[in-house]
Structure 1
């Protein structure tokens, strides 16, 4: 049994529990108070899953915030838009305050590479003042030296891996990146941070699903989230050669033999469609066209700017 932090809220008329490591949302089998809660992750994992489209709410269940465009790596499958202008530090604090108070279940800080931000601990602290859980997605390069600093203000860290060893991972992310990410994962686990590996599924990588899961178990991670490649940003030019179908991804992930206590998740493009992202320019974006594109909606000035259309409005 592992007890860690989850968030609970009633959105619409549905009671929900969000896992900051896996990014999954569950419907609890018992009544829970709203807010940040310590729960047994084995119990939560057994509760039914629920997707955004199944909940009658204008509020995104969880949000990805990418406050930084800069990155120390140059991954060809990156979906960030490097042409955007980054908001300055005061504007980042303003956005963190809006996200902390908006009532969503989970906030994940991504990038670019968020560990390049000197004010990252402060931003995480602001987010943690709200009722949601807070996670960070990183390439892991700087995680070993920052794990102790970040552990008190993070509920989980997600580390990108494109393979189970240096030969496969470094092909996509550059020399030395596997060892830095693996050392970062071990340091985070030692600091008491729940760790989830994240692997982008491409035609070149989909057959490594089992070995990435085995790596997660070896590193002491909770598990692996397999992310279907999105043909957005730099990754658009890889779509013709590297984009695997959702059916193919389900097939290969379904073959994985999962070690006891390890959690795996497949986020298909179908599930990623409509997902809410706040990018470095301070605008709210949503994945569109089956998550094969992304569109800006409006600048994030108040929590109302995050609102989703209700299901019947989306069909009209």
Structure 2
């Protein structure tokens, strides 16, 4: 889904690029999207115009012939200060210690992965998060952090010179609609975090899980809120029936076609770019959980499968070992 108003993406930002045939592919840490360009760019971290990148055609990572994923989600902890009812994480997973976190960070830094999104749990609960980001950036990765935003106001300054993008999860455009999912006060803390991230010049966007109970007015209001705050856009994510979300699937899961229809009008009229990640697009995505195990979403992202521990960079390979190639 391509927005009609990319005006908020005109500044220069950091992306990650890789040669693809006679040209290059570019990973955008702000949106998580992969773009194909007719230009030949250097490999690794590159500074580009957000407007230019947004104008380049999107390409599904699976269509890029590569030995490793274009991007991965790394969840180095299970702990979270909130309890979202559709959380994808497996709460039974044990967290590795500090030394193991750095081992994994170094493996990802030494790999050919373009982008790493650090998630959780709640990644801002990690005291050493800035140092882990430094390791990944030194290796040439583009790094984003996905957070519930409740600790962002106090941590944004330390992240500002390190992270390439922040994605803040919201469940509603106001405290009444957000806090009924995430708890009293969580909306105000998240908004304070968004304001501070923008004040620190961190490329920032809102993410929202799209549910059957999400009405059209809430969707429009979320886009309006994003424009008011000055964030770079809103990505609506199709709910995945994984983790805690499996219990909500029967009541709250939309089909991809229903989701596309729900956002069709907004995608061309909103004041900020509005995107939809359909469930099909999440198929095959690679997740590294807090225990150091590699997981991949099954086709259609209706389930996730555990593969093997991440012991060397070669364990990330998209091979018939896990059925991904």
Task: Give the TM-score range, shorter chain.
Answer: over 0.9
Partner of 2:18, secondary structure, is: strand
- The 4+ residue runs of structure 1 with deviation greater than 4 A are 11-14
Contact 1:12 1:57 in 2 (8 A): no
Contact 1:12 1:56 in 2 (8 A): no
Q: Provide the rounded CA distance (Å) in 2 between the counterparts of 1:276 and 1:206.
A: 31
Partner of 1:235, secondary structure, is: helix
Matched, 1:255 2:247: no
Alignment size in residue pairs: 312
Which residue is 1:237 aligned to? 247
Cα deviation, residue 140, structure 1: 0.2
Matched, 1:219 2:234: no
Matched, 1:297 2:307: yes
The alignment's TM-score, normalised by the length of structure 1, stands at: 0.95
Q: Provide the rounded CA distance (Å) in 2 between the counterparts of 1:314 and 1:109.
A: 22
Q: Provide the rounded CA distance (Å) in 1 between the counterparts of 2:148 and 2:71.
A: 21
Q: CA RMSD in A?
A: 1.5
> Once structures 1 and 2 are overlaid, which stretch shifts more, 181-190 or 21-30?
21-30
Matched, 1:52 2:61: yes
1:200 to 195, 209, 214: 209
Listed as ranges, the gaps of 5+ residues in structure 1 are none
Cα deviation, residue 33, structure 1: 1.7
Cα gap change, 1:190 to 1:283, in 2 (>3 Å): same
Which residue is 1:175 aligned to? 184
Cα deviation, residue 314, structure 1: 5.4
Contact 1:13 1:56 in 2 (8 A): no
Listed as ranges, the gaps of 5+ residues in structure 2 are 1-9
Output one character per residue of 1:126-170: Cα deviation in whole Å (capped at 9) or x when no partner. Answer: 111112200000000000000001111100000001111011111
The alignment's TM-score, normalised by the length of structure 2, stands at: 0.93
1:64 to 47, 68, 73: 73
1:18 to 18, 23, 27: 27
Cα deviation, residue 206, structure 1: 5.2
